[in-house]
DNA sequence: GCCAACGTTGGC
DNA sequence: GCCAACGTTGGC
């Protein structure tokens, strides 16, 4: 499956992920987002989106460890996954661009701006890769 | 169980 | 800096 995860680049950016080589995607404190984390499987691809000033999809990451208790809290109900960076988009795909393409009008990123983890349809994934000037085939 | 008050997130 | 959207908390 395909997903999109948001991050505030001032807190943890795509470049931080590349620097670290892998990271635990933790800190999700919303039930809807948690339920999506729970469904992630090893090998699933994720778009990493920068909120705040960038407001753009920066790159593609991959799940390497399925959901486990979030180490940043003692509450057992919160979950995290572990991810590695796969590929940076040649051109980040901005929120503005997505809004300009009517086929993304139902995209949760646009409809539900505060949701931090959301599913992405395969066809949406493909189109966003093309907008980002990268070849989608190796990720499908 | 309802709702007002409050806090947080994220776009503009 | 402001505000809309949404989630949470607490009084009743």
Q: Has residue A130 got a pLDDT over 90?
A: yes
Query: In this predicted model, what pLDDT tens digit does every residue of A32-63 receive, in sequence order?
Result: 999 999 999 999 999 999 999 999 999 999 99
How would you classify residue A109: left for phi > 0, otherwise alpha for psi between -120 and 50, otherwise beta?
alpha
10 Å CB burial of residue A21 (0-12, 13-18, 19+) is: exposed
pLDDT score of A106:
87
Antiparallel, parallel or unpaired: β A45-50 and A23-25: unpaired
| Cα distances (Å, whole numbers) of residue A95 to A15, A53, A55, A104 | 19, 11, 6, 10
For the segment A67-87, what is each residue's pLDDT rounded down to a tens digit?
Answer: 999 999 888 889 999 999 999
A47 CA → C11 C1’, Å: 43
Nucleic strand C near CB of residue A51 (< 7 Å): no
pLDDT, one tens digit per residue, over A86-114 is 999 999 999 999 999 988 988 999 989 89
CA atom of A3 to C1′ atom of B8, Å: 23
Structure confidence at residue A99 (pLDDT): 93
The nucleotides of chain B lying under 7 Å from a protein CB are 8-12
List, in sequence order, every beta strand (DSSP E) within A1-140: 2-7, 23-25, 45-50, 56-69, 79-94, 117-120
Give the pTM: 0.94
């Amino acid at each position: 499956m395909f997903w999109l995860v948001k991050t505030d680049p001032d807190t943890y950016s795509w470049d931080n992920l590349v620097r670290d080589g892998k990271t635990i995607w933790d800190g999700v404190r919303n039930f809807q987002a948690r339920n999506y984390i729970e469904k992630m499987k090893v090998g699933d691809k994720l778009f990493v989106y920068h909120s705040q000033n960038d407001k753009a999809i920066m790159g593609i990451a991959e799940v390497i460890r399925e959901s486990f208790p979030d180490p940043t809290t003692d509450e057992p109900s919160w979950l995290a996954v572990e991810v590695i960076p796969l590929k940076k988009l040649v051109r980040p795909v901005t929120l503005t661009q997505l809004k300009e393409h009517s086929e993304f009008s139902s995209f949760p990123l646009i409809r539900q701006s505060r949701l931090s983890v959301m599913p992405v349809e395969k066809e949406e994934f493909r189109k966003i890769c093309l907008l980002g000037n990268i070849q989608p085939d190796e990720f499908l």
